[in-house]
Structure 1
Amino acid sequence: MKKTTLSAALVLTAVWGLQAQAGVDPLTQIQPPASEWTHDGSAPDHIVEVPPFAVPATGVIDYINTVIPLEFGEEKWVKAVQFIPGDKRVLHHLLSYVVADDQNNEGTIDEADNDPRREFLEGYAPGKEYATEFPTNTGIKVPVGSALRMSVHYTSFGQETVDNTKVGMWFYDENETPDLEFHTHSVSARDLAIPPGDMNHEMAASHVFEDDIVLHGFRAHMHYRGKAMSARVIYPDNTVENIINVADYNFAWQPTYRMDEPMVLPAGSRVVVEGLFDNSEYNPGNPDPTVPAVSGPQSWEEMFIGYFSYTDLPE
């Protein structure tokens, strides 16, 4: 079994498609995209228009649950997806799932819950500026009779605005059906209670994969008090390998870190997510360092979730 570690250089190569060179700052090689749609220079095969929403200047906005039928008439496989916010200033995040159009799709989505009735498509968060392209020969299956269910979170910023976000999807051709489905599993800690003034509050969560998988990527998610997050795997033989270390977590930079060389995790492997929160006055983004930070969906509350993107092990 070949093991690999996600390094900073390959993260940039994987996320931005850059060729890292010694002595060259990869960020200087980034060129503005020629169009708003960034996958292979083409327009999406299908665009979902998120219903426009008037964001008030002030106030707390509950999560919005939107379900849009995908009336394709035939099974589709998504090979790339991109989110274009109508107004980045107010779109905190958007999560999208492929669901059956005939099930009960009402209510608020718990993003830390791995509900088997839905398949995570992709999400938008600060830092996601480009299309997400699934690895070769993998994709997200959209069966006939599906819908796109979205959880949309807006935050006010002192000025009224209207958001009309777009979701673009590119499909495999009919004769190019991939062999592997791309999945995402969230590993989270709930019931957070971060004491006021604590600069290095530790948190951890874990999950055991019961089947062989191939790990392709990872995304860290916390709110304004998030300071650092790392992930490692404990193999069935009790050997340990680091997966990633996001040593300086920033709420405004939440990309999915994609591996150049995926990791094979045999059945029984335990992934462990560990992190730090800074609930002190020395954290300039802290909404209120004088009160405990507790779990909740709003930005001034906290979350602790590590997202693992994977496929089954090819036969």
Structure 2
Amino acid sequence: MKKTSIAMLAMAAAVSFQANAATGVDPLTQVQPMDGEWFHDGSAPDHIVEVPSFNVPATGVIDYIDSVIPLEFGEEKWVKAVQFIPGDKRVLHHLLSYVVADTPDAGEGMLDETVNDPRREFLEGYAPGKEYATEFPENTGIKVPEGSALRMSIHYTSFGQETTDATRVGLWFADENETPEYEFHTYSVATPMNQIEIPAGAMNHEASSSHVFEDDILLYGFRAHMHYRGKAMSARVVYPDNSSEDIINVADYNFAWQPTYQLDEPMVLPAGSRVVVEGLFDNSQYNLGVPDPTVDAMGGLQSWEEMFIGYFSYTDLPE
């Protein structure tokens, strides 16, 4: 009975394909992206930011889109959770969002994710694998002062079918009588893109970067970001007394799975601690994601180029 059912399904699919072929309809155009849903505590967001829709062509290189949307709340807010629902996750390579002052120059200059600009506060980002809401630890959150805007860096990639993306950003706020005591921060530790060069055919090309935290912090999480040649990334801390401790080892990095890894217990990093990010790139024929293993790979914004960034999420150390 099961074989008969499978045969019938196959026959129906063949008939459908033939019907599309007869009418000149490309079957790919009939495939629609899956609808998303809000995941934080079963409630709808307190505020939804509608990212301006964008028509993504079937082919071609698409420059980054920089969008600034005023957050007209009329008062200070604290974000306790945030979630991104892509309009079409097949084309949304990533979206980074920052809280900035809503001023005439809010959108000036390029948003370089390898640079930590004190004029903006990282809210959260979307990347493949981040399906659920990001919930900030208890008694922490992202402060949104009155008169702020959300600045976003959006990267689309074509995949052979024209489509339209209209991503939504859901924000859940802390109750007015439960204002968090600590601001949640994210710091990117990266190799500048102009310093990345991966030899053709290299299977285990090493990369590293580091940063010294000048104040006491409480480390909550880590996220690795590379492109198609990314193979592995790890992070460790070297304490002021020169002892060291592993933070995380992403031994099998996958571009399609880039969550923020939350520590089971936050780590205390005293002032003067150096965090070290180390990783491997595979630019060989054995990595099926490599566009051309016979040429050197350079750093850059597009997915066929490379990045090397470790994101550290933390708060100031409670007194």
TM-score by length of 1: 0.88
Match of 2:223 in 1: 219
Match of 1:169 in 2: 171
> Would you say 1:181 and 2:183 are equivalent positions?
yes
- Work out the CA distance in 2 between the residues paired with 1:163 and 1:290: 34
> Would you say 1:256 and 2:264 are equivalent positions?
no
Residues 115-264 of structure 1: pairs in structure 2 closer than 5 A: 115-190=117-192, 191-264=195-268
* SS of alignment partner, residue 102 of structure 1: coil
> Would you say 1:108 and 2:110 are equivalent positions?
yes
After TM superposition, give the deviation of residue 254 of structure 1 in Å.
0.1
Residue identity in the other structure for 2:204: N
- Work out the CA distance in 1 between the residues paired with 2:113 and 2:190: 10
**Conserved in 2, the CA contact under 8 Å of 1:64 and 1:108?**
no
Match of 1:73 in 2: 74
- Work out the CA distance in 2 between the residues paired with 1:96 and 1:150: 4
Residue identity in the other structure for 1:138: T
- Work out the CA distance in 1 between the residues paired with 2:197 and 2:103: 39
After TM superposition, give the deviation of residue 260 of structure 1 in Å.
1.7
After TM superposition, give the deviation of residue 108 of structure 1 in Å.
2.5
Unmatched runs of 5 consecutive residues or more in structure 2 = 1-35
Q: Which string of whole-angstrom CA distances, capped at 9 and with x for unpartnered residues, describes residues 40-86 of structure 1?
A: 00000000000000000000000000000000000000000000000
Paired residues, what number? 281
Larger radius of gyration: 2
Unmatched runs of 5 consecutive residues or more in structure 1 = 1-34
> Would you say 1:82 and 2:83 are equivalent positions?
yes
- Work out the CA distance in 1 between the residues paired with 2:218 and 2:74: 31
After TM superposition, give the deviation of residue 287 of structure 1 in Å.
1.1
- Give 4+ residue runs of structure 1 displaced > 6 Å after superposition: none
Q: Which string of whole-angstrom CA distances, capped at 9 and with x for unpartnered residues, describes residues 201-245 of structure 1?
A: 000000000000000000000000000000000000000100000
TM-score by length of 2: 0.87
> Would you say 1:275 and 2:276 are equivalent positions?
no
- Work out the CA distance in 2 between the residues paired with 1:60 and 1:263: 41
Q: Which string of whole-angstrom CA distances, capped at 9 and with x for unpartnered residues, describes residues 158-210 of structure 1?
A: 11000000000000011110000000000001210100000000000000000
* SS of alignment partner, residue 274 of structure 2: strand
- Work out the CA distance in 2 between the residues paired with 1:286 and 1:253: 17
Match of 2:20 in 1: none
Task: Please tell me the root mean square deviation across aligned C-alpha atoms, in Å.
Answer: 0.7
Residue identity in the other structure for 1:177: T
- Work out the CA distance in 2 between the residues paired with 1:100 and 1:295: 30
Q: Structure 1 residues 103, 309: CA separation in 2 closer, same or farther (over 3 Å shift)?
A: farther
**Conserved in 2, the CA contact under 8 Å of 1:90 and 1:156?**
yes
**Conserved in 2, the CA contact under 8 Å of 1:214 and 1:311?**
yes
After TM superposition, give the deviation of residue 103 of structure 1 in Å.
5.0
